[in-house]
Structure 1
Amino acid sequence: MSDETAGATPGFLVWRLSMKWRVAVDRALAPLGLTHAQYSVVATLRGLDRSGIRPSQRELADHTGLEALYVSKLARSLETAGMVERTRDAVDSRAVRLALTARGREVTGRAVGVVHGLIDAQLAPLGGTDSERTAAFVRDLTALLAVPAEGPAARPAG
């Protein structure tokens, strides 16, 4: 353990790991013109499309854990870049449906390959993507994600 993480709390370590991951993905995807946040949108759209689902912005926000307003902003920027198509829902005129364009599918396919390579490299210290340690790590992360985000209310000082 490095000096900067010696004695660190689990919350700090989770935060540092998430920041390290975000920076690594941003750098790896920059040549494709994507950020980590944009990747989370297009990669999710790709997976949902393979299941025959064309989500609304709200549904995509719920699926990714991103704020709906942020998903809307990301979708607009991806639409401008020619990667996402935004259309009004035929039943609910307030809803906007999202789909990858042909360009979006091509770029996302390449991006998924880049990110999978990054995942392999990041998980090497645990024995790689197929190791028992990685499987246990995934189980632990899944258990932590299942805990509601609302913690105890902060107490006023004094």
Structure 2
Amino acid sequence: MLWHVTLRWQRDIARALAPFDLTHVQFVLLATAWWMNSHGEDPNQLSLARKAGTDVKMTSQVLRKLEDKGFLRREVDPADTRAKLLRVTDAGARLAQRTIEVVDEVDRGFFAAAPEAAGLLRLLARQRSDE
């Protein structure tokens, strides 16, 4: 049942992000990069993937799409010329902020239907912090 609920939630998120031409994974990586940038961090691909909980190779492919769309840019890290720092563009920052609001609204509506979901979310958050 949890799997079916998760699929339903993912469909709701995908539907909400469709008008912005973003997939759920693109949204997660853009929003995470924006959050890190706005908190003084310029992540590289590995640190972004770790923060977002995504696969590193898949992250690379998704970042390339976000870069092609003009939502972020990769800049050579002056401390390590092999690494690229990720910086969200102004257009990417506006999109991240807007879509975070949209996804939050979907989440509120989805999880309001089941008050016990708040307990499940706390359990999942605790599980993640234990990893």
Alpha-carbon distance, 1:29 to partner: 0.5
5+ residue gaps, structure 1, are: 6-12, 128-132, 149-158
AA aligned to 2:122 is R
The answer to whether the 8 Å contact 1:75/1:86 transfers is no
Partner of 1:141: 124
Highest RCO, 1 vs 2 (Cα 8 Å, sep ≥ 6):
2
Q: Count residues with an aligned counterpart.
A: 131
Aligned-partner Cα distance in 2 for 1:91–1:56: 12
The answer to whether the 8 Å contact 2:111/2:118 transfers is no
- Runs (4+) off by over 6 Å: none
Partner of 1:103: 91
1:103-131 deviation digits (Å, cap 9, x = unpaired):
1011111111110110110111234xxxx
Aligned-partner Cα distance in 2 for 1:56–1:114: 26
Partner of 1:123: 111
- Matched residue SS, 1:86: strand
From the CA coordinates, give the structure whose radius of gyration is larger: 1
1:115-157 deviation digits (Å, cap 9, x = unpaired):
0110110111234xxxxx4542222112333566xxxxxxxxx
Q: TM-score, normalised by structure 1?
A: 0.75
Cα RMSD (Å) of the superposition? Answer: 1.7
Q: Percent identity?
A: 31
Q: TM-score, normalised by structure 2?
A: 0.89
In the alignment, which of 37, 43, 47 is matched to residue 31 of structure 2?
43
- Matched residue SS, 1:95: strand
Aligned-partner Cα distance in 2 for 1:84–1:59: 15
Aligned-partner Cα distance in 2 for 1:105–1:23: 24
- 1:7-156 aligned at under 5 Å gives the runs 13=2, 15-127=3-115, 133-146=116-129
5+ residue gaps, structure 2, are: none
